[in-house]
């Protein structure tokens, strides 16, 4: 048959006839892949097609498996495409079956008809097939063209991204902080930055060939370790076409997601400079190991801020904790620590302190009990807001809101002329008044509460009101119960009267 003279529809028919109607895969290859795709697919989606995975050959002749929730797409390459026909398979029964099979088995997938597929596997030495529902390929979201070139990134970027994601906010009301910002404001020093308003992480020394900054959302897939271990990465950021997309590719995976829309806070002006009253502390591996062992067991782990006190003197450092402000401190001297500068004492959240040590920070600068502690390492910085030693967040008067409240600040705002006078790392150059909404009111002494303090007060006021409401509801329930008892007693009395009347009627007769 001369295929050159055939019409397109006939050629398409012949091509389909040539396709392998069956996909055959090692179960061991699918186990890890389905775990990664499960980080994206939501089993409770209202669109049935989003609960499926797509098997299809790619342009390079590799078999791929894809999953999406429309906001994020992931694709894994599984090997030779076997010239197979694309098909959709529901993830839930596929994952359940793959988990139950030994890794050495081989799974076959083929279409039975337009609405069903068949999953084949060995059972008791015999080959059996399980029927699963299938869907039309027309319902699968259209492919997303990425025209921006890819930028290679190294392991330093991977490490920085993972650590930054741990420091990003989970508060959905501050969505712009729910990810990691690729900041290209400084042409020679691009950064990855993340904050939740209580601590801020930045990693610099990067040079990205990107046209605009972007915020990578904190998707579950980006917290999946096998993705970081899958060879070299490349990055693409498409910001000039709507909708915008960010793509990260590894050896076998392609991760595609929509960036977070919005302006990231002006974080650069928030880092305090060292001054004459600052204290610089240098830790060793021995002291870090001791602190990681001691911090989870010091008293005070159950208080709101998980606070500990760091006493810094020229002779060394002491870490201490207590359950209540009225109790004595439990103190642990930390050996092999070098302290430069003035004697100091700061309160700090032990969770953030532990995170800094786990991230490999072995140096920090303490300023005063109201200024953030600045942990430093080559190419990285971690700011941690201090806490008062009574367990509350340290929020001095005239302290502007943390970065999460400065969301509208543009990264192009100029730095202050004298940064050493800017004592609070979580403040902007111009003091801002906390918004007066509900119970958010300025302090009675005319000075401005910080945003965090105001929100805490607001939450406490809400809790008080809720307690009052619950108390009123309890009283209402008690009254209803009393009314019910009275009703029953009344009905009982009425029934007694009726019985008496019936008796009297019998006597009259």
**pLDDT tens per residue across span 286-315:** 999 999 999 999 998 888 889 999 999 999
Q: Where do the domains of the chain lie?
A: 15-139, 154-264, 272-432, 436-473
CATH code of the domain made up of 272-432: 3.10.150.10
Sign of CA dihedral 318, 395, 454, 452: negative
In the prediction, which pLDDT does 246 show? 93
- In our burial notation (b when 16+ CB lie closer than 10 A, e otherwise), range 483-509 reads eeeeeeeeeeeeeeeeeeeeeeeeeee
**Range scoring the smallest mean pLDDT among 109-118, 236-245, 311-320:** 236-245
Q: What is the mean pLDDT of the chain?
A: 80
Q: Which residue has the higher pLDDT, 293 or 409?
A: 293
Q: What pLDDT score does 162 carry? A: 96
pLDDT of residue 270: 83
Give the pLDDT score at 45. Answer: 72
- Residue 501 has what pLDDT? 72
Can you state the percent helix, strand and coil of the chain, rounding each to 5? 30, 30, 40
Q: Which CATH superfamily is domain 154-264 in?
A: DNA Polymerase III, subunit A, domain 2 (3.10.150.10)
15-139 has which CATH code?
3.10.150.10
The pLDDT tens digits for 183-232 are 988 888 899 999 999 999 999 878 888 888 899 999 999 999 999 999 99
**pTM of the entire predicted model:** 0.71
Across the range 243-257, mean pLDDT stands at 93
Residue 42 confidence (pLDDT) above 50: yes
Q: Using the predicted structure, report yes or no on whether residue 54 has a pLDDT greater than 60.
A: yes
> Of residues 346 and 445, which shows the higher confidence score?
346
Q: Give the number of other Cβ atoms within 10 Å of residue 193's Cβ.
A: 26
Greater confidence (456 vs 314) lies with 314
Q: Please report the pLDDT score of residue 412 as a whole number.
A: 35
pLDDT at 14: 39
Q: Which of 435, 431, 463, 428 is nearest to 451 (CA)?
A: 435
Q: Let me know if the fold of 15-139 is the same as that of 154-264.
A: yes
Q: CA-CA distance, 429 to 414, in Å (whole number)?
A: 9
């Amino acid at each position: 048959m001369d295929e050159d003279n055939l019409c397109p529809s006939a050629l398409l028919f012949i091509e389909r006839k040539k396709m392998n109607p069956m996909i055959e895969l090692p179960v061991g290859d699918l186990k890890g892949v389905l775990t990664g795709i499960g980080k994206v697919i939501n089993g409770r989606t209202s669109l049935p097609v989003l609960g499926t995975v797509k098997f299809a050959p790619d342009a390079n002749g590799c078999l791929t498996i894809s999953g999406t929730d429309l906001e994020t797409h992931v694709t894994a390459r599984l090997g030779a495409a076997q010239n197979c026909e694309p098909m959709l398979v529901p993830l839930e029964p596929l994952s359940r079956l793959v988990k139950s099979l030994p890794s050495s088995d081989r799974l076959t997938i083929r279409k039975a008809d337009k609405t069903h597929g068949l999953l084949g596997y060995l059972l008791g030495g015999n080959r059996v097939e399980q029927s699963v529902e299938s869907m039309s390929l027309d319902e699968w979201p259209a492919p997303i063209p990425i025209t921006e070139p890819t930028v290679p990134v190294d392991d330093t970027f991977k490490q920085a991204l993972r650590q930054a994601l741990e420091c990003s906010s989970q508060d959905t009301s501050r969505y712009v902080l729910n990810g990691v910002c690729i900041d290209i404001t400084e042409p020679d020093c691009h950064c990855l930055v993340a904050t939740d308003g209580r601590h801020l992480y930045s990693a610099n020394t990067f040079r990205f060939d990107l046209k605009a900054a972007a915020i990578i959302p904190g998707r579950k897939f980006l917290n999946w370790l096998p993705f970081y271990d899958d060879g070299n990465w490349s990055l693409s950021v498409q910001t000039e076409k709507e909708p915008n997309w960010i793509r990260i590719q590894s050896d076998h995976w392609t991760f595609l997601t929509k960036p977070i829309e919005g302006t990231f806070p002006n974080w650069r002006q928030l880092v305090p400079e060292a001054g004459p009253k600052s204290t610089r502390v240098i830790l060793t591996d021995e002291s870090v190991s001791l602190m990681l062992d001691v911090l989870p067991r010091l008293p005070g782990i159950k208080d709101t801020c998980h606070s500990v006190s760091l006493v810094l003197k020229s002779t060394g450092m002491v870490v201490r904790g207590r359950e209540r402000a009225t109790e004595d401190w439990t103190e642990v001297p930390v050996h092999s620590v070098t302290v430069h500068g003035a004697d100091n004492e700061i309160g700090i959240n032990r969770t953030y302190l532990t995170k800094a040590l786990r991230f490999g920070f072995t140096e920090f600068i303490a300023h005063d009990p109201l200024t953030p502690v600045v942990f430093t390492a080559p190419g990285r910085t971690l700011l941690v807001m201090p806490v008062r030693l009574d367990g509350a967040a340290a929020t001095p008067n005239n302290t502007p809101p943390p970065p999460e409240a400065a969301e509208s600040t543009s990264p192009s705002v100029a730095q202050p002329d004298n940064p050493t006078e800017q004592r609070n790392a979580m403040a902007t150059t111009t003091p801002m008044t906390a918004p007066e909404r509900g119970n958010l009111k300025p302090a009675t002494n005319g000075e401005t509460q910080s945003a965090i303090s105001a929100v805490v007060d607001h939450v406490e006021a809400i809790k008080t009101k809720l307690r009052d409401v619950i108390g009123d509801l309890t009283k209402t329930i008690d009254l209803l119960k009393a009314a019910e008892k009275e009703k029953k007693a009344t009905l009982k009395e009425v029934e007694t009267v009726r019985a008496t009347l019936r008796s009297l009627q019998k006597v009259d007769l």
